[in-house]
Amino acid sequence: MTTLSTNELAQTNQNTGLPNIKSRIKAKENFSYPMIFVHSYLDLYGLDPYQFRLLAHIARRNNCVSKLEKMALICNMSTRKAQDVLQELDELGLVIKKLRRGKTSLCRVAPFTNWEKPKPKPELEEKYNSLLNKLQEEQQSLTKLEEERKDVQMIFVHGYLDLYYLDPYEFRLLAYVACRSICSSPLQEIAFICKMGMRKAQDTFQKLKDLELVSKERRGGRPTTYRLRDFSDWKEPQYIAELEAERLKVRASMLCKYVNKTNNE
């Protein structure tokens, strides 16, 4: 494993972000960092933006033992809101919460088979049922092929994105676009599935475009198309002093991975 010198580590902590690596990635074919994956079942589950954001953060940590205040900071919500949302996720069976005496609680995403069955609105019921049947078939297939695997992955979030400091609405729409690769859904449908108003969705998409996280293509007489841009195109995240140490570790890891990949070719 490649290690970084003190100077290289210091460079990665500059406000300009990852030194040279973004330009290197742009010039290098078949190399990038996947930032997010969302299973369509979770996308249509009916979580509000705050529930979705906190679930994604817990998923990224796998076994999350962060203090509630730190979770709230990363997810860009108040501590009280994070506490309420965590309780809601627990009641839905989406997370498993384990109390540890004298320590912070341990939280992790529960296997989807433990999740409470969603109660979709009539407009989404057919999609839900279709996805549930597909998931059950996939689960049976996995059980036969790989006994030790207990679950279907519902979401993956890279540390760079988790620490980007998007608010729950921005994160939710980014995840919606990522789930579809090329998103050309009507704005009304997007807002409905993501549980926000149309005006809020419109304004949030504009923020994501300004941050260069998504591209936007207007099509005369048809819904606008959105695509998730490669992370190398993204603007640098807002400077948050409390997050910089953790961001440094993520950036250093990314740089090591790039150097290792390059050296092995």
pLDDT digits (tens, 9 = 90+) for 176-200: 999 988 999 889 889 988 999 999 9
Q: Beta strands 155-157 and 36-38: pairing type?
A: antiparallel
Give CA–CA dist 180/127, Å, rounded.
15
Nearest to residue 179, comparing CAs of 7, 63, 41?
Answer: 41
Q: Which of 58-62, 80-84, 179-183, 218-222 reaches the highest mean pLDDT?
A: 80-84
Give the residue ranges of DSSP H helices in 75-186: 79-91, 122-145, 159-162, 168-180
C-alpha to C-alpha distance for 175 and 38, rounded to whole angstroms: 7
Lowest mean pLDDT among 29-38, 89-98, 142-151: 142-151
Task: Indicate the length of the chain as a whole number.
Answer: 265
**15 part of a folded domain:** no
Over pLDDT 90: what percentage of the chain?
47
Tokens of 177: 């676009």
What distance in Å separates the CA atoms of residue 15 and residue 244, rounded to the nearest whole number? Answer: 10
Give the separation between CA 34 and CA 160, rounded to whole angstroms. 10
> In 3-state terms, what secondary structure has residue 107?
strand
Q: Quote the Cα angle for 176-178-179, to 5°.
A: 65
- Assign residue 106 a region (left: φ > 0; alpha: ψ between -120 and 50; beta: otherwise): beta
69 pLDDT higher than 90: yes
Give the pLDDT score at 116. 85
Exposure class string for 34-61: b at 16+ Cβ within 10 A, else e: ebbebbebbbbbbbebbbbbbbbbbbbb
Helical (H) or strand (E) element with 224: strand 222-228
pLDDT exceeds cutoff 70 at 13: no
220 inside domain: yes
Q: Is residue 88 part of a domain?
A: yes
Give the residue with greater pLDDT, 101 vs 3. 101
Report how many domains make up the chain. Answer: 1
Q: Decide if pLDDT at 139 tops 90.
A: no
3-state class of 15 per DSSP? coil
Give the Å distances, CA to CA, from 260 to 136, 160, 256.
39, 19, 6
pLDDT number for residue 219: 81
Structure-block tokens of residue 98: 């384990």
- Does residue 59 lie in a domain region? yes
DSSP 170-218: HHHHHHHHHHHSEE---HHHHHHHHTS-HHHHHHHHHHHHHTTSEEEEE
Mean of the per-residue pLDDT values for the chain?
A: 82
Q: Which amino acid is at 183?
A: C
Q: Is residue 170 part of a domain?
A: yes
> How sure is the predictor about 114, in pLDDT bands with cuts at 50, 70 and 90?
confident
In-domain check, residue 6? no
Asked whether residue 17 is assigned to any structural domain, the reply reads no
Q: Mean pLDDT, to the nearest integer, of 13-37?
A: 61
pTM beyond 0.85, yes or no: no
Q: Residue 208 is part of which domain span?
A: 32-263
Residue 76 CA to residue 38 CA, distance in Å, equals 20
Question: For position 4, what pLDDT does the model report?
Answer: 42
Of residues 158, 148, 168, 203, the one with CA closest to residue 59? 158
Residue 99 maps to which CATH number? 1.10.10.10
Q: For residue 227, tell me if it sits in a domain.
A: yes
